[in-house]
Amino acid sequence: MSVDPGNRKLLRLEVRNAETPIERKPPWIKTTLRTGPEYKELKALVRREGLHTVCEEAGCPNIYECWEDREATFLIGGEQCTRRCDFCQIDTGKPAELDRDEPRRVAESVQAMGLRYSTVTGVARDDLPDGGAWLYAETVRQIKALNPNTGVELLAPDFNAIPEQLLEVFESRPEVFAHNVETVPRIFKRIRPAFRYQRSLDVITAARDFGLVTKSNLILGMGETPEEVREALVDLHGAGCDIVTITQYLRPSLRHHPVERWVRPEEFVEHAAYAEGIGFNGVLAGPLVRSSYRAGRLYAEAARIRAASAS
């Protein structure tokens, strides 16, 4: 029997994935260490106060730039997800009991770090009657109550597109509602078996119809073709998505989906130009871009364009 480091029996898919060695990264997959005064101050504060951010715990390559801009990302809902995506490093299993004090602690962390813009993401909580909608909404409400000048971006699961659950989340009014489709229709079921491509588009449309700025992400290198990427961009824009990020898949471990290809920087430039050409208000694409990278700047640009087009 094969087990992972957490002593969970590996799925057959994970055993098959593990037959492919970890891929050697190309020379353009690298980042430069740049530590300015804002980053150093935040790092010291996080250590001193015992705060937790996705930025540090996931080893994000963009932490230096984001912290210099006073932006950070927080993970809510626990350490285990009720769904399994073949690219995601978060463990799948039965989550711990809902921590109803978590929204307050996240809000206080945002305040302690003096953030200008905060991104909140989390695990799917299909074990809860409301799918975790209260937790996501309450975290936004608490951040806004304690930090009225801080922007909040919410990167949420699909809540199975249940209208009542979506409405609770939408009514918390984050500056940006993000829901990531991550990949293209042809390989979607294999990569994200507990999600549905059209359902994800429907969630984005519902957020747009509510009046929120919307955002999504595509991860390249999992078996898609450049043409399929462009088709997915058309689908996202048609669903009402304002902002899109396009990223390179980096395999977290042997049990995760192998990297099918390393997308050259020039292809990212082409996809970004295409996305801008079909009307997205904010676009970032690159090998080391992540969905929360430069989130505050992207929101400001998208909001400006949206306001100008509405006037």
- Three-state secondary-structure class, residue 284: strand
Q: Which residues contact 272 (CB under 8 A, 6 or more apart)?
A: 246, 283, 284, 285
Q: Is 81 annotated as a binding residue?
A: yes
Enter the DSSP assignment of 221. S
Task: Tell me the CA distances in angstroms from 272 to 29, 42, 109, 230, 285, one per residue in order.
Answer: 18, 31, 34, 10, 6
Amino acid occupying residue 77: G
Structure token pair of residue 194: 């507990």
Q: How far apart are CA 89 and CA 84, in angstroms?
A: 9
Q: How far apart are CA 118 and CA 120, in angstroms?
A: 7
Contact 255, 17 (CB under 8 A): yes
- Three-state secondary-structure class, residue 59: coil
CB count, 10 Å around CB of 27?
6
Q: Is 60 annotated as a binding residue?
A: yes
Strand partners, 246: 218, 285
Q: Is 241 annotated as a binding residue?
A: no
Residues belonging to the binding site for [4Fe-4S] cluster are 55, 60, 66, 81, 85, 88, 292
Residues belonging to the binding site are 55, 60, 66, 81, 85, 88, 292
